[in-house]
């Protein structure tokens, strides 16, 4: 049976409450075996609506599952997007408190800032023109599903693609000055490397995540507004955190960003 707008709202409320109470819920496809991706994005949008109604401001988008390492880990086969709000941002060098989250994990990313609106099928060159800067970024994921397990793309999409918090580096460089697909990335915890990859692990070239995002948005008749932050997706699998951890990501040419983990 097709889902109604009311179903979308109900499921969005369920996930929103789970997030606010840091409580796990079963994947939606347990009760809604037929959950088309289109409906999952509608649930995601309703969830964002609940947040903006409380005063949060949308400041960008995240791409997820843009690397082979992530798709393998989650056993899912295509990229997805989610929405970022101002409340999700941890300042560079700031503190991330585990309390209030369910089972958060951190992952190494690269982010872009756009200076003009992007819509539909665009070329890499158009994406390059529209991105005024690139920066180092880490995303803190949290899934509202039991044990961070879900078995379908619609589940993760409805849950805002597991997005939770993110941190951006303070060095912003024009992407044209960088060899975007050849940047060594290294994530360290307390000075010890836990993940490393080349930036090409992200969509073959992180800028292509922006191209893919625009295509996905166009399927819903949407565009990427000027002034958006875009997280291009993780280069490696995500890492669990414990209190006292100091997590730092360094991307050659873009500098470093760190976050301290507290209980
Ligand atoms: C989905 C989100 C993946 C990324 O960067 O690949 C993601 C998940 O892992 O739960 O954000
Ligand atoms: Mg991510």
* pLDDT tens, N- to C-terminus, the chain (263 residues): 689 999 999 999 999 999 999 999 999 999 999 999 999 999 999 999 999 999 999 999 999 999 999 999 889 999 999 999 999 999 999 999 999 999 999 999 999 999 999 999 999 999 999 999 999 999 999 999 999 987 799 999 999 999 999 999 999 999 999 999 999 999 999 999 999 999 999 999 999 999 999 999 999 999 999 999 999 999 999 999 999 999 999 999 999 999 999 99
Q: Given phi > 0 = left and psi -120 to 50 = alpha, else beta, which region is 207?
A: alpha
Q: Is the pTM of this model over 0.95?
A: yes
Beta carbons of 227 and 212 less than 8 angstroms apart: no
Atom of ligand 1 nearest to the CA of 233: 5
Ligand 1, atom 7, residue with closest C-alpha: 64
Residues 89 and 76: their CA atoms lie apart, in Å, by 27
Q: Could you give the domains of the chain?
A: 5-92+99-177+199-239 (3.90.850.10)
- Of 238, 242, 240, nearest to 73 by C-alpha is 238
- Of 8, 75, 70, 4, nearest to 43 by C-alpha is 8
Q: Which of 64, 230, 236 to mutate to test the pocket of ligand 1 (most atoms within 8 A of CB)?
A: 64
- Of 185, 198, 202, nearest to 249 by C-alpha is 185
Return the structure tokens found at 88: 């999700």
Rounded to 5, what percent of the chain is helix, strand, coil?
35, 30, 35
Beta carbons of 231 and 202 less than 8 angstroms apart: no
Question: Which of the ligands is closest to the CA of residue 67?
Answer: 1
Ligand 1 centre and the CA of 141: distance in Å? 7
- Of 191, 180, 201, nearest to 254 by C-alpha is 180
Atom of ligand 1 nearest to the CA of 105: 9
């Amino acid at each position: 049976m097709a889902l109604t707008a009311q179903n979308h709202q109900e499921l969005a409320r369920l996930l929103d409450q789970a997030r606010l109470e840091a409580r796990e819920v079963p994947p939606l496809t347990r009760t809604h075996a037929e959950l088309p991706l289109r409906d999952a994005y509608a649930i995601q949008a309703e969830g964002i609506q609940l947040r903006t109604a409380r005063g949060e401001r949308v400041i960008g988008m995240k791409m997820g599952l843009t690397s082979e390492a992530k798709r393998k880990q989650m056993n899912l086969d295509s990229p997805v997007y989610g929405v970022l709000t101002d409340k999700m941002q941890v300042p560079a060098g700031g503190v991330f408190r585990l309390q209030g989250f369910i089972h958060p994990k951190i992952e190494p990313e690269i982010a872009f800032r756009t200076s003009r609106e992007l819509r539909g099928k665009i070329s890499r060159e158009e994406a390059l023109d529209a991105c005024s800067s690139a920066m180092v970024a880490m995303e803190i994921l949290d899934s509202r599903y039991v044990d961070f397990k879900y078995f379908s793309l619609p589940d993760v999409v409805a849950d805002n693609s597991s997005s939770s918090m993110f941190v951006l580096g303070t060095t912003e460089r024009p992407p044209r000055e960088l060899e975007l697909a050849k940047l060594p990335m290294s994530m360290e915890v307390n000075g010890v490397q836990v993940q490393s990859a080349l930036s090409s692990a992200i969509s073959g070239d992180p800028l292509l995540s922006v191209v893919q995002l625009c295509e996905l948005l166009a399927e819903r008749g949407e565009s990427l507004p000027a002034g958006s932050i875009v997280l291009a997706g993780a280069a490696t699998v995500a890492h669990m955190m414990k209190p006292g951890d100091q997590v730092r990501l360094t991307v050659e040419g873009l500098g470093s960003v760190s976050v301290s983990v507290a209980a």
